[in-house]
Structure 1
């Protein structure tokens, strides 16, 4: 599927869904030290980007944030790999990124939006995310070691 490239600006900070602008090295350097993607390999990142709707946040041409959404664009979306680099945190950019994702035309009227977080519950609650109402219905196969 090909979707229209989405761009927004806040002064010198911009947000885009144009994958050609993504800095894979910067994404890799952040993710390989994150709690959720520790030791991930570049080919895994590249494949995940190729198969996701991606959002980059930029200060002029330098990438300072990222998020990707895995979706069927009809009923379900999973938000993943969301980050703003530390030097830019506390400026509302994470909130802007989440709001922009939620407002993206291809992600409207979905039945379920899902994400996983260890430490940003309060951020996501501001946008309507809640704890799973029936977590006992959810199941997982975790092959974390196969992702690196």
Structure 2
């Protein structure tokens, strides 16, 4: 698998379809929201013979903090080690070195991320969030 950070190579319809139809965290996300999130993030595309099969997005301040989100490998290419290659490329990228904190949230892939040094927060009592599950689904109802 070839991994690139070239945003012009990203298959935006594929990314939008996957996120909006096949994830719990971004179900029904609008295309414009996906486009804006990509525009303002550091993105990684994974490609086989020029066709995108994987994606990861990093929200970063380019100095101290990064947050890994929207990681996926298309279902027909899973189980081939591509997720490991993608996360390794993310972790090793020069733009993501020297950060004080690199975070992510995962409901089912902790084992993958632990292999790359991610662990549960040392002081979870310090972390806070505003969480709006199903935000995009509720916006569809409002229209």
Given the two structures, how large is their TM-score scaled by the length of structure 1? Answer: 0.88
1:15 matched to which residue of 2? 3
- 2:28 touches 2:136 (CA, 8 Å); kept in 1? no
CA distance in 1, matches of 2:65, 2:11: 27
Cα RMSD, aligned residues only: 1.3
More helix as a share of residues: 2
In the alignment, is the contact (CA less than 8 A) between 2:54 and 2:74 conserved in 1? yes
| Number of residue equivalences | 136
Per the normalisation by structure 2, the TM-score is: 0.91
- Report the alpha carbon displacement of residue 136 of structure 1 after superposing the two structures with TM: 1.1
Does residue 53 of the first structure (1) align with residue 45 of the second (2)?
no
- 1:10 counterpart residue number: none
Quote the residue 2:13 is aligned against: 25
**Structure 2: gaps (5+ residues):** none
Deviation at 1:146, TM superposition (A): 5.7
Taking a change above 3 Å as real, the CA distance of residues 86 and 65 of structure 1, as seen in their structure-2 partners, is same
Instruction: Tell me if 1:62 matches 2:45.
Output: no
Q: Do structure 1's residue 103 and structure 2's residue 84 form an aligned pair?
A: no
Query: Would you say 1:91 and 2:80 are equivalent positions?
Result: yes
Distance in 1 (CA, whole Å) between partners of 2:132 and 2:25 is: 12
> Could you tell me how far 1:143 is from its partner in structure 2?
3.4
Aligned partners of 1:89 and 1:146: how far apart in 2?
26
**2:25 aligned with 1:40:** no
Deviation at 1:142, TM superposition (A): 2.1
> Once the two structures are superposed, what CA deviation does each residue of 1:100-131 show, in whole Å capped at 9, x if it has no partner?
01111111010100000000000000011101
The 2-side partners of 1:125 and 1:57 are apart by: 21
Matched, 1:123 2:96: no
Q: Distance in 2 between matches of 1:69 and 1:22?
A: 14
Q: Distance in 1 between matches of 2:130 and 2:40?
A: 20
